[in-house]
């Protein structure tokens, strides 16, 4: 399912249904980080794959503190997204992004 905003997702009442949630941090209204925090406070949340164009270590740290299963920095290819989804099944988390000198995959 596709939702245009965090509010639309919350109004759908499917908070605990998805096998995973692919969450962009830049959303209209409630931000992706705010939604992630809200879901965490509400109880067990689905595994969340965070996608963003921000290469900010503080944003990544905040998403990880909120329990993201994976953190992908745009642009990324379909293989990175599929690997992130597979990592949920394998119960591992990873960061995929590029610095000036290297690509990180933990």
**CATH number where 42 lies:** 3.40.50.2300
Q: What is the predicted pLDDT for the residue at 18?
A: 64
- Give the chain's domain count: 1
Residue 3 pLDDT? 87
Question: What is the pairing mode between strands 103-104 and 94-98?
Answer: antiparallel
Compute the distance between CA of residue 94 and CA of residue 106 in angstroms, rounded to an integer. 5
- pLDDT tens sequence across 11-66: 887 655 667 889 999 998 999 999 999 988 887 788 899 999 988 999 999 999 98
Residue 24: which residues within 8 A CB-CB, separation 6 or more? 32, 51, 52
The pLDDT of residue 13: 77
For residue 93, what is the DSSP state? -
The reply to whether 104 falls in a domain is no
Q: How far apart are CA 87 and CA 77, in angstroms?
A: 16
Q: Average pLDDT for residues 72-95, to the nearest whole number?
A: 80
The pTM of this model reads 0.77
């Amino acid at each position: 399912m596709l939702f245009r905003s965090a509010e639309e997702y919350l109004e759908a009442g499917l908070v605990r249904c998805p096998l995973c949630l692919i969450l962009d941090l830049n959303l209209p209204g409630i931000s992706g980080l705010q939604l992630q925090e809200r879901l965490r406070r509400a109880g067990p949340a689905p595994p969340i794959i965070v996608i963003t164009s921000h290469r900010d270590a503080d944003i990544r740290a905040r998403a990880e503190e909120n329990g993201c299963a994976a953190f992908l920095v745009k642009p990324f290819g379909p293989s990175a997204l599929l690997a992130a989804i597979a990592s949920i099944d394998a119960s591992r988390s990873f960061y995929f992004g590029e610095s000036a000198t290297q690509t990180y995959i933990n």
